[in-house]
Amino acid sequence: MSRSVYIHAGAHRTGTSSFQQCLFRNRAVLAEHGLDAAYPGRDGAPKGKLNLRLPRPWHGDNWPENTVERLRGHLARMNPNKDRGLVFSEENIPGPMRHFFEGRFFPGARQRLRALAQALETPPTHVLYVVRSYDALFLSAYRKRAEDNPVLDFDGLVPTLADMDRGWSGLISDIRDELRPERLTVLEYGARGSSRDLLARLVPGLEGAELAEPARLVNLSATDAGLLALQARYRAGEKLARPEWKAVLQDHAADTEPRGFAAFPDAVAEKLRDRYARDLERLASMPGITFG
């Protein structure tokens, strides 16, 4: 794949679903600029067909047979015209969030990025990644997982989350070293701006375009009341399909009273924020990265 490729690679819980809705809304503008748009449909983004089957941590370097060929073929279906570029968004490129609760920060990232790089064949033109403070990220990840899975009480996970094996500087190094993008931009969550602002930062030439913001907010955080109701049902042995657990959350959406579902002790939250501040300093000084 020798065409221009622009990748929004995450992170989770930084408005990725809204950005994918933004790609859907602006696909005509992107087409005018010679670009196809691809994104997953997991959070309801219309026409979301991106499905990157990347290696898992336990694969190590022994990937399933034809991993790269399948990836290359899938990307070609997302972008069949060799004269057009591709812009795609997928927060699971480094891996899922569930490994946080084992104290591992994207343990399979290097292998996944290496497989993607081989499928692309040439370095991407631009990769954009949004980072978020660890305390807020881990809390949001826990709440998200609690929507459709039974989870351990948060207090029991605090020591594991507080002593995560690595952080953003390690992951961003993996992205830089494995994908070798022509340009790698890292944004702090507070500087993300709107989804259309993010799209204009990712793809040069869109700064003056009439880009549309998503029509509705997506993937909003559930209330404590909704999560507690779901966990009671999961722990009773119920298995709920997506429409069912979504309905439970909707039933409790108006009850915004905090109920102590999950919170870090003040000392742990401060420790995580300090670690994040140190990692931001590292990112700002790392070669090969534009930090904003």
CATH number of residue 172's parent domain: 3.40.50
Confirm if 10 and 94 have CB atoms less than 8 A apart.
yes
Q: Is residue 154 part of a domain?
A: no
Determine the straight-line distance between the first and last CA of the chain, rounded to whole angstroms.
29
| Domain boundaries, position 67 | 5-138+165-214+268-291
Q: Is residue 160 part of a domain?
A: no
In degrees and rounded to multiples of 5, residue 135 shows phi and psi of -60, -45
Paired residues of 38 in beta bridges: 88
Q: Is residue 148 part of a domain?
A: no
Low-confidence ranges of the chain (pLDDT < 70): 1-2, 216-220
Q: Is residue 29 part of a domain?
A: yes
Count up the domains in the chain and report the number.
Answer: 1
Output the pTM of the full model: 0.95
Name the DSSP letter for residue 212.
P
Distance (Å, rounded) from C-alpha 123 to C-alpha 126? 9
Paired residues of 253 in beta bridges: none
Q: Is residue 258 part of a domain?
A: no
Q: Which two tokens stand for residue 242?
A: 């997506």
Q: Is residue 193 part of a domain?
A: yes
Distance (Å, rounded) from C-alpha 71 to C-alpha 67? 6
The SS3 call for residue 101 is helix
Q: Is residue 144 part of a domain?
A: no
Q: Is residue 74 part of a domain?
A: yes
